[in-house]
Amino acid sequence: MPSPDKVTDVAELTENFRTSAAAVLTEYRGLTVSQLTQLRHNLGTTTQYTVVKNTLSKIAVREAGLQELESMLSGPSAIAFVKGDAVEAAKSLRDFARANPFLVIKGGVLDGKLVTAAELSKIADLESREVLLAKVAGAANAALSKAAALFQAPLAQVARLAEALRAQVAENAPAAAAPAPVDAAPVDAAAAVAEAAEPAAEAPVAEAAEPAAEAPAAEPAPEPTAPDAE
């Protein structure tokens, strides 16, 4: 029957596996106590770097449902339980391992998923959460500043901006297809010449008015008669 101390150690390890954002398994063979102290300092207060016994750790990973980690628990083992930013912890471990080759990063678990040493190295190349938040905040502040400047701009400036945008949209829009030209009806040149040569049709001449009725001829006046001789 395991001793109460071992039961307590297993329970603590199991809880750390379950509640940590990430857990990185390492081998520290050859590192001095001062080097381990420096590593803990580099990891900060949000990461707990614990030297563990493999037998107890294997029981803990099984109870936490992380049986895949059992194969990594060999040799002098220490586990980094990350409570804060996993990227920052991965950077600290990578940088320390580069300066102290005796530290061997074997792999671990991140958000309940198994990660290899190579994947942890790629995670270390990412930007930290604080840097990403700062970039997002900077972009948001820049957008708000532009919006505030637009709201404070004179109405005439806003109108010019709107007109410039409208002109740009009109310029980029595809030109409407021009209507195809309508071919003029073919003209027969010979017919046109012949038509021009024909004299214009004469207007009908009104019939001459009938002559007015002749007035009756006046009767000849009677010839004067000579007076009778007395």
- Output the domain CATH number for residue 14: 3.30.70.1730
Q: Is residue 201 part of a domain?
A: no
pLDDT band at 213 (very low <50, low <70, confident <90, very high): very low
**pLDDT for position 90:** 95
Q: Are residues 94 and 24 in the same domain?
A: yes
In this predicted structure, the answer to whether residue 130 has a pLDDT above a threshold of 90 is no
Q: Please answer whether residues 158 and 166 qualify as being in contact, where contact means their C-beta atoms are separated by less than 8 angstroms.
A: no
What is the rounded CA–CA span in Å between residue 33 and residue 37?
A: 6
CA distances from 143 to 120, 129, 177 (A): 35, 21, 40
Which residue matches tokens 């381990």? 36
Q: How many CB atoms lie within 10 A of CB 220?
A: 6
- Last residue of some domain: 126, 148, 180? 126
**pLDDT for position 158:** 55
Q: Is residue 203 part of a domain?
A: no
Q: Are residues 119 and 17 in the same domain?
A: yes
**pLDDT for position 5:** 85
Task: Give the pLDDT confidence of 144-161 residue by residue, as tens digits.
Answer: 555 555 556 555 555 666
Q: Is residue 159 part of a domain?
A: yes
Domain that holds residue 141: 130-172
In this predicted structure, the answer to whether residue 75 has a pLDDT above a threshold of 80 is yes
Global confidence as pTM: 0.57
Q: Are residues 98 and 135 in the same domain?
A: no
For the segment 79-107, the average pLDDT, to the nearest whole number, is 95
Q: Is residue 198 part of a domain?
A: no
